Amino acid sequence: MSSSNDHRSEVAELARLLPPPAERDLPPSRQRVIGAHLMSEFREARPADSTRRSGLVVLAAAAATVLTVIAGVTIGSAVTSSPPPLPRKAVTALPGGKQQNSITGGSPSSRLPESAGITTLAGMTRIIAGTAPLWGFKEGTGPYSGRSLGLLGSLQQCWVLTSAIMRLGPLTHGLPMPLPLWFATSHPGPAQVCDEVWAFANSWAPVKVLRNPEYTGSGTPGTITLRTGSIDHGLAWQVDSAANGGMSEFRFEWAQGMHLADVSVIGADLTLAQARGIALKVRA
Amino acid sequence: MEPDQRDRVRAGDTAAFEALFERYAASVYNHAFRLTGSWSTAEEVVSLTFLEAWRLRGAVHADGGSLQPWLLGITVNVARNVRRAARRHQAAMSRLPPPPAVPDFAEELAGRLDDEAMVAATRTAVAGLRPREREVLALCVWSGLDYATAAETLGVPVGTVRSRLSRARRRLQKLAAASTPASAPGQPKSARPREDSSDEQQQRSPI
């Protein structure tokens, strides 16, 4: 009873010291759209779960077909320097592009050319390309915004093993991210790569961002700073996250001239050297 | 929420998730807004929270009460690093229809700006607090959770919630006392304190 009273009086005192919080409902039309979208995603995921449970049966039945398709398609994507066409929605409706509007007050940064990031990865296919938000603890209320930093443009790309697409379907039809552990373990090493590059109008902004843990996320629980492996005196982490479904993740962030680069590499039995070798392919 | 509904959530019953969304979308939305100070980001956090909830559904305990603490805990984790969470669910988020570019009503826009200005003022007031103190404060003071529920939400002992709130109160009292005309209104003089509390090590939520 006394404890309950203490709780109430402390909360009341805190409430007195602070302005009242804003509160509103999610606009009904938007709530419907988001709700319907989420349920659709969950329903699509259900067959994938079932497939995983009976994976051996499905795998055996599909093996011949998959092998045939892989033979025809991966050869094409491995030798060509231009990746296959991207899913239209992934390019035009990236959440990053949408958020950038809110960061800069209506003037989204432009998308950098593909040459700013990773242009090819052997055995992998680029499944997403768009702009990348420069999120802080939160834009507009953080220490500085994209506009104040002179953000000119950005590029965000994600790559997955081509064989994963052949096995699990394209991004728009069931490809999960991160890839399932059962798939990654049968393909040890890098399975998924995301690279992001931001271009600024000056060379101090990338360094400033790199030094701010609210922007880099280096203070996030589970990120382990590595003593070795950083690029250009930047940051290197191993990420111990339940979100990776049991896979390993290495992440690198560094400043180079007027650019800031961020690369994360995820996979089963992944080594720091493998991940770093991929990160070095960014041409920022 | 009934125990059998917990079982349904654990089993990936989409109807149970639909009910969960209907029931808690608003509280997740408001909590996300208080953590981020942006309605548009809060909307993003709502989607990401429920995508994470779906992915982590197997971690729901069979026994227990409301699933609100579990959801708000996920919200806190998503809001700490939205970019990372968005990247994790990039495929699903890329398929989400974007919000209308132009608000339906000018009045709504004005309301949003007012709200965001209010939260900006609030964030200025709490700028002198450690992030973990802000999170506890948002749960206990603004979302009305008791200590035990806030502890469950954040995955920390009740004593940690209590100590963070006490520190927050003392710090806010000092800031209020120091807020004289000589200093800029609402602007704490000191920079945000360093994260050094040993209780931070007890955080066990996934990122």
Q: What pLDDT, in 10s, does the model give residues A226-237?
A: 999 999 999 999
**A279 band by pLDDT with thresholds 50, 70 and 90:** very high
B160 Cβ contact partners less than 8 Å away, ≥ 6 residues apart: B151, B154, B199, B202
Place of tokens 């969950």: A42
Predicted pLDDT of residue A198: 92
B38/A141 Cβ within 8 A: yes
Shortest Cα distance from A19 to chain B (angstroms)? 6
pLDDT surpassing 70 at residue A122: yes
Average pLDDT, chain B: 75
Residues of A in contact with B54 (CB under 8 A): 38, 41-42, 45
Mean pLDDT calculated for residue range B26-54: 87
**B114 band by pLDDT with thresholds 50, 70 and 90:** low
Mean pLDDT calculated for residue range A106-130: 83
Residue among B26, B90, B96 minimizing CB distance to A128: B90
pLDDT surpassing 50 at residue B13: yes
Q: What pLDDT, in 10s, does the model give residues A33-44?
A: 899 889 888 887
pLDDT exceeding 90 applies to what percent of chain B?
20
- Report which of residues B65 and A75 the model is more confident about: B65
Mean pLDDT calculated for residue range B113-133: 68
Mean pLDDT calculated for residue range B101-110: 47
- Alpha helices (H) in chain A, listed in sequence order: 2-17, 28-53, 55-79, 88-92, 95-104, 146-149, 162-168, 181-184, 204-210, 213-216, 272-279
Shortest Cα distance from B115 to chain A (angstroms)? 5
DSSP code of residue A257: T
Mean pLDDT calculated for residue range A132-146: 54
A141, A194, A241, A251, best to mutate vs chain B, most B CBs in 10 Å: A141
| CB burial readout B174-204, b (16+ within 10 A) else e | ebeeebeeeeeeeebeeeeeeeebeebeebe
Which tokens hold the place of A178? Answer: 């991160």
Predicted pLDDT of residue A280: 96
Residues of A in contact with B98 (CB under 8 A): 93, 98
Confirm or reject contact between B92 and chain A (CB < 8 A). Answer: yes
Contact (CB, 8 A) for B139 and B72:
yes
Place of tokens 């059998």: B4
How far apart are alpha carbons A84 and A89 in whole angstroms?
A: 15
Predicted pLDDT of residue A159: 93
Instruction: Give, in degrees to the nearest 5, the angle at Cα A76 between A73 and A80.
Output: 150
Count of CB pairs separated by less than 8 Å, A with B: 211
Q: How far lies B45's CA from each of A109, A184, B10, B31, B80, in Å?
A: 22, 28, 22, 10, 10
Question: A216: nearest CA in chain B?
Answer: B81
How far apart are alpha carbons A217 and A194 in whole angstroms?
A: 16
Residue type at position B68: Q
ipTM, two decimals: 0.71
Contact (CB, 8 A) for B51 and B92:
yes
How far apart are alpha carbons B99 and A119 in whole angstroms?
A: 31
Question: B79: nearest CA in chain A?
Answer: A137
Residue ranges of B 133-192 with Cβ closer than 8 A to chain A: 137, 140-142, 146-147, 165-166, 168-169, 172-173, 176
Residue among B25, B44, B95 minimizing CB distance to A37: B95
Mean pLDDT calculated for residue range A185-214: 91
Q: What pLDDT, in 10s, does the model give residues A141-160?
A: 445 567 778 889 889 898 99
From A40, A135, A142, select the one nearest A97 (Cα to Cα).
A135
B168/A14 Cβ within 8 A: yes
Residue among B26, B84, B195 minimizing CB distance to A219: B195
- Report which of residues B71 and A29 the model is more confident about: B71
Shortest Cα distance from B89 to chain A (angstroms)? 6
B91/A175 Cβ within 8 A: yes
B28, B90, B137, B166, best to mutate vs chain A, most A CBs in 10 Å: B90
pLDDT surpassing 70 at residue B142: yes
Q: Is A249 left (phi over 0), alpha (psi -120 to 50) or beta?
A: beta
Residue among A21, A26, A39 minimizing CB distance to B25: A26
Residue among A23, A45, A221 minimizing CB distance to B205: A221
Confirm or reject contact between B194 and chain A (CB < 8 A). Answer: no
Residue ranges of B 50-79 with Cβ closer than 8 A to chain A: 50-52, 54-56, 79
